[in-house]
Structure 1
Amino acid sequence: MRPRLPEAEPKPFFQVPIPGEEPVQGGVVTHDQFRELTGQIELAITVQSEYLFVGSGQYEFDPSAGSGCPDVWYTFYRRNGQICIPGTSIKGAIRAIVESISNSCVSQRRGQERSQIDSAPQPCKYKKDEKSLLCPACRLFGTTGFRGRVYFSDSEPDGNIQMKIVKIGELWEPKRHENARRFYEAKIFQPITNQQPEKNFRFVEAVPKESKFRVSLQFENLSKAELGLVCHALGWDVKKDKRESAFTPKLGGAKPRCFGAVKFKPIQLRLWQENILASGLKPLILQEEEMSRFLVECLQECQRSNLLHSKSWNMLMQKLKAQNEPCPRGIY
């Protein structure tokens, strides 16, 4: 894409084209009984970009701020006074990746109207009185009238985190592109040395690189291939029968300023299994090598299935890898 100005810095995003073929739809899996895989994965989140910002929608004001210091800034999301990353925010980011790598349906909202991207698969529609067919993302994360089978807890800090007020270029609504999904690259944030409040810039309260959080990924009645699809969206791949981090998904806001890249690391996997003697369920807890082998099986099963759109996956995986290139400072 041509920049508005010849001297404009390269924009830190890329597009994954929407495939021409229709999504592979499947029947709805209900919640009335346990089947296949139900459980949770405890995950560690480590911030890989220079900063992570999850907006609260509120401001903080310092009336005593001197010249050249931030006086008003956007605050980080808090729950009961403690910073955290809402589970819904993580779910939305991971779902966006799943939609892309599984060739799921596409919809977007403009104001109060919902419009479909031209030539893209129509949004799934769920009806209770019919045998609905849903795309992979809607089967996993839900759609109107149907509760999904994958969700995240709120993510709390793992240890003490020192917040920082960071100056960034103003953020504007991106231009819409037909027949493609937009993602932001993992480039290097360029700090702005001048801390003077000025037009076309804002201040945000952010957490710095290497900050750590913990989160629980919970799932119900998934096949191994479906769990593998979610694992792919967490940035994992398989190489020589070993799980590896292939890229860093992005969470929160200020992605155009190259914020938000994180690494997910599995800590513990818990599966619920039927206990005939106790007439109930008992947890099967997997850790370290045993957990890694199971996750590799899920990733490989996904690759063998029709859930993973290999061309979209390969493009996204390559483009989301960390790049040793600067992120734009100014308006674009």
Structure 2
Amino acid sequence: MPRNPNAEPKPFVLVDIPSKTPERKPAAPHEKFAGLTGRLELTVTVVSEYLFVGSGAYEFDPNHGNRRPDVWYTFYRRNDQLCVPGTSLKGAIRAIVEAISNSCVSQMRRPQERTASNAHKPCQWDPKKAVHENRLCPACRLFGTTGYRGRMHFTDFLPQEEIKPKVVKIGELWEPKRFDPTKRRFYERKTFQPLASPAPQQNFRFVEAVQKGTKFQGALLFENVSEAELGLLLHALGRQVEKGQVTIAFAPKLGGAKPRCFGSVEFHPERLRLWGGNIKGLLAPQEVQGNDMLQLLSQYLQACRNEGLLHEPSWTALKEGLKPKNERCPPEVY
């Protein structure tokens, strides 16, 4: 019998950790250009009710009079401008890549968070070996690991226009007490439930968030990746090929308060710049956008599937789990 029979359904998307061992291949060196190097410019649009990316700082209102927020967590800023830092994007997208490519489970923060599969323990880098002699899973080859610099990163994403954030009251956030070592956990896209009273209250907190429809612009930078690897990144950004067209498969989640159903965003490619060598050995840019860009992205997405880099059962489970649901998100402890 559940501990709390009146608790609302947990907004979890559970993706099985495959029984198959991750395919670890030699790490790619950095000393020369090979494969695809370039920049994909992106627009991020908030599609959940709110997005919160914490700064680790607080603001407070000494005159709240117990009628409005007293202390709240602030949104991340760069030079006093609201911003989604590239590191937040990288962490969120890496978690998706690990799940859909059958990679190692890189984050095990607590002793009890151990996978049931010893084969999925974090990749190990041996500094005594040459770069190409170290073998890494697909995610570690792209994003890096201790001792090895990754071949992709995100710039900071800045707002398209002036944003007026809102201080929102949410139920307190607690670490899960139960952990399933056979699955990876993500959060569903449900509807946020606003709370009636804006007054400070035990077991609730306030966060500074941006609202649905807010747009940020930035870029994904990649170096020496294959077409299949770039296709894997595009899948993790929530894109797929459907009836010959590049379409949205799901909205990844960014930032904090995901248990309160914050953070769903859509990534929209705007322009692709690729760098290639010419007859003098110099790098020259090729810039594409519109239909020409979408044709290339479709090619990369298909290459990912053709080369078996996408783990189809995990991709299907995550795609279905992250589809929007016409259900309320639990406002309190669940």
Query: What range describes the TM-score normalised by the shorter chain of this pair?
Result: over 0.9
- Between the aligned partners of 2:108 and 2:18, the Cα distance in structure 1 is 21
Specify the SS of the correspondent of 2:117.
Answer: coil
Distance 1:37 1:102, change over 3 A: same
Matching residue of 1:90: 89
Deviation at 1:251, TM superposition (A): 0.1
Deviation at 1:248, TM superposition (A): 0.2
- Between the aligned partners of 1:107 and 1:299, the Cα distance in structure 2 is 24
Distance 1:184 1:3, change over 3 A: farther
- Between the aligned partners of 2:134 and 2:270, the Cα distance in structure 1 is 36
Matching residue of 1:301: 303
Matching residue of 1:331: 333
Deviation at 1:106, TM superposition (A): 1.3
Matching residue of 1:247: 250
2:60 counterpart letter in structure 1: F
Contact kept, 8 Å, 2:171 with 2:332, in 1: the verdict is yes
Matching residue of 1:256: 259
Deviation at 1:115, TM superposition (A): 5.9
1:301 counterpart letter in structure 2: A
Contact kept, 8 Å, 1:107 with 1:116, in 2: the verdict is no
Residue identity over aligned pairs, in percent, reads 56
Specify the SS of the correspondent of 2:20.
Answer: coil
**Going by fraction, where is strand more abundant, 1 or 2?**
1
Task: Report how many aligned residue pairs link the two structures.
Answer: 329
**Unpaired segments of 5 or more residues in structure 2?**
none
Deviation at 1:118, TM superposition (A): 2.5
- Between the aligned partners of 1:273 and 1:172, the Cα distance in structure 2 is 48
TM-score between both structures, scaled by the size of structure 2: 0.96
Matching residue of 1:267: 270
TM-score between both structures, scaled by the size of structure 1: 0.96
Within 5 Å, give how 1:170-185 maps onto structure 2: 170-174=172-176, 175-185=178-188
Matching residue of 2:6: 7
Q: Deviations over 1:194-244 (max 9, x none)?
A: 111010100000000000001110000111000000000000011111100
CA RMSD of aligned residues (A): 1.4
- Between the aligned partners of 1:147 and 1:18, the Cα distance in structure 2 is 26
- Between the aligned partners of 2:18 and 2:124, the Cα distance in structure 1 is 20
- Confirm or deny that 1:202 pairs with 2:205: yes
Within 5 Å, give how 1:6-25 maps onto structure 2: 6-25=5-24
Contact kept, 8 Å, 1:106 with 1:116, in 2: the verdict is no
2:57 counterpart letter in structure 1: Q
1:288 counterpart letter in structure 2: G
Matching residue of 2:160: 158
Deviation at 1:114, TM superposition (A): 9.3
Deviation at 1:28, TM superposition (A): 0.7
1:177 counterpart letter in structure 2: D
2:204 counterpart letter in structure 1: F
Matching residue of 2:114: 116
Q: Deviations over 1:32-58 (max 9, x none)?
A: 011110001000000000000001111
- Between the aligned partners of 2:107 and 2:270, the Cα distance in structure 1 is 35
**Unpaired segments of 5 or more residues in structure 1?**
none
- Between the aligned partners of 2:38 and 2:153, the Cα distance in structure 1 is 11
- Between the aligned partners of 1:233 and 1:37, the Cα distance in structure 2 is 18
Specify the SS of the correspondent of 1:40.
Answer: strand
2:84 counterpart letter in structure 1: I
- Between the aligned partners of 2:228 and 2:3, the Cα distance in structure 1 is 44
